[in-house]
Amino acid sequence: MTIQKAIIIGASSGIGRELAKILSRNGYELGLAARRLPELASLQKELETKAVVKSIDVTQTDEAIRRLEELIGELGDVDLIVISSGYGIYNRKLHWEREKSTIEVNVLGFTAIAGAAYKYFHERGRGHLVGISSIAGIRGSSDMPSYNASKAYITNYLEGLRLKAMKTKKSIVVSDIQPGFVDTPMTKANTGMFWVASVEDATDQIYRAILRKKKIAYVTNRWRLVAWALRLMPDWLYARIM
């Protein structure tokens, strides 16, 4: 039986870490990447299958691409690449360093990894690229303007890659996972959350979306209703709640 192999970028915590556990339980050999090697080494010991770890800082774009290519080489062949790394912080006063950090991770870093992953799958002739965006990408935010904008960018970039795959007629699947509120370290400071999913429940739904090769998946499923409401909400009402 052929062993499936996956790489997770941003595997040290949150959704990426939990997804690694689920994939391992289902027989995947893994490449685990993040900035923090100790957290990856700890996760590696918990997994049931072979896992290779590598430190990748997506903000160092050229180096990140090179290290992703190395990780692919060490695994031998890769069926699935998941980009789960992300950054977001409240920035009501528009401190440039906060905006810059968000853009470096969610736009520059994401683009570097997604583009390299797509090119690998194009050369291979098949594969599955998964990006974690957010419901937040549907509309802007006065509190986190660069975060919402960066998530909209991710969604559009993934759609562009999906269209590119369709034109090449190669078996490349591109999935956009759009979570609502998930109980991860990044959301701890947000006190206005509702319908908060545990990281286990959210990641279980993400795994099922991957199996079904969904183009777009809302996590959890009921956030589809919020997405619909946000798109239809008039500006005056959206401004009052945001």
User: Which residues are tagged catalytic?
Assistant: 147
What's the DSSP call for residue 41? H
Pairwise CA distance, residues 30 & 203, whole Å: 16
Residues 180, 219 contacting (CB under 8 angstroms): yes
* Stretch (H or E) spanning 109: none
Q: Where are the alpha helices (DSSP H) in the chain?
A: 14-25, 37-46, 61-75, 96-103, 110-124, 145-168, 199-211, 223-232, 235-241
| Number of Cβ within a 10 Å radius of residue 209 | 20
Pairwise CA distance, residues 193 & 212, whole Å: 29
Residues 219, 209 contacting (CB under 8 angstroms): yes
What's the DSSP call for residue 155? H
Residues 53, 8 contacting (CB under 8 angstroms): no
Residues 23, 207 contacting (CB under 8 angstroms): yes
**Which residue, 198, 191, 242, is CA-closest to 219?**
198
